[in-house]
Amino acid sequence: MDSTDELLARYHEHGFVILQGILGGAEIDALREALQPYLDLEQAGRNDFEGERTRRVYSLVGRGEVFERTVEHPAVLALVDALLQPGYLLTASQAICIDPGETPQPVHYDDVFYPLARPRPAVSVSTIWALDDFTAAGGGTEVIPGSHAWGDERVAASYGKTGDGKTGAPSQAADIEARLVPVEMPAGSLVFFAGTLLHRGGANRTTASRRAFSHQYCEPWARQQENFTLSIPNERVRRMSPRVRQLLGYSILPPFMGQLAGRHPEKSLAADYVNSLVVDDEELERSEKV
Ligand SMILES: O=C(O)CCC(=O)C(=O)O
């Protein structure tokens, strides 16, 4: 594996970098096995963006220890450490299974939610981990190398002002099509890319599903896409490592961001935790009676 510095140099130049063979065969099997029951419960997506032949499993980090380990994988966190401020958070964690017959997803970039002028540093960084081989025909992610550095005007000219994936003029759409490059990598590899990089899930013209999962990380001052402190039951969070809990949002960006009624949010995970608002209201009720 290349050094973190080499990977970062490629990331800065192209907006993405592939980490090949990061998972061994046994780990891939364990992830596939843990994921399958959740995939079996899922229906296809609700729109073209989620994908009408794509199944997604949200809050994946809360669905098994095997997924938690990937969220805090040292090779990935070494890159995120260099790109985001200390205290960065997990913003999204989902499995994405692109089934046969799926059409290409609209081109987009992942930190479009933050209304800050481009070009700019990415507010978030994304990973997509392959659980099946990624191929051009089989739904491999497609990226536009270098587009992480594009300004607003160029992005808007490409597919519409809002960055919501609507296509621009046909000639511009054709230009975008010509620039898309498929990420081809074996199962157990991942593509790491800037939240500013234009990309999409590819069409699946094969007869096999393309299983993958994506963890995304954001600056500690940015709102997370997924509300993990609500989606993942406390009893599961308690079993997680301190690092994963911190990434989910059980953490403070000094001095106050993320506080829980003036206290550290980790306190809410204690077995004997009682919400301080409830305590205060009970106290008020008692004092009104005397
Ligand atoms: O599944 C993929 O390859 C990409 C999906 C994606 O970019 C997204 O859903 O935001």
What domains are there in the chain, each with its CATH number? 4-226 (2.60.120.620)
Query: 156: pLDDT confidence band, cut at 50, 70 and 90?
Result: confident
Report d(CA 279, CA 287) in Å as an integer: 12
Res. 12: pLDDT tops 60: yes
Res. 161: pLDDT tops 50: no
Q: Are the CB atoms for 129 and 243 separated by under 8 Å?
A: no
- Strand, helix or coil for residue 154: helix
Distance 209 CA to ligand 1 centre (A): 14
For the Cβ of 183 lying below 6 angstroms from any atom of ligand 1, the answer is no
Nearest to 127 by CA among 114, 143, 105, 103: 143
Within its chain, how far is the Cα of 169 from the centroid? Answer: 30
* Residue whose pair of structure tokens reads 């009624």 in the numeric block: 261
Which of 46, 52, 91, 105 is the best mutation target for the ligand 1 pocket, counting ligand atoms within 8 Å of the beta carbon and taking the most?
105
* Predicted local confidence at residue 143, as pLDDT: 97
* Predicted local confidence at residue 58, as pLDDT: 97
Average pLDDT, the chain: 93
Which of 50, 127, 141, 143 is the best mutation target for the ligand 1 pocket, counting ligand atoms within 8 Å of the beta carbon and taking the most?
141
DSSP string computed for 53-69:
TEEEE-SGGGG-HHHHH
* Predicted local confidence at residue 74, as pLDDT: 98
C-alpha distances (whole Å) from 200 to each of 141, 158, 208 are: 6, 14, 19
Mean pLDDT over 120-133 rounds to 98
Q: For atom 10 of ligand 1, which residue has the closest CA?
A: 110
Nearest to 237 by CA among 88, 109, 65: 65
Q: Structure pTM? A: 0.94
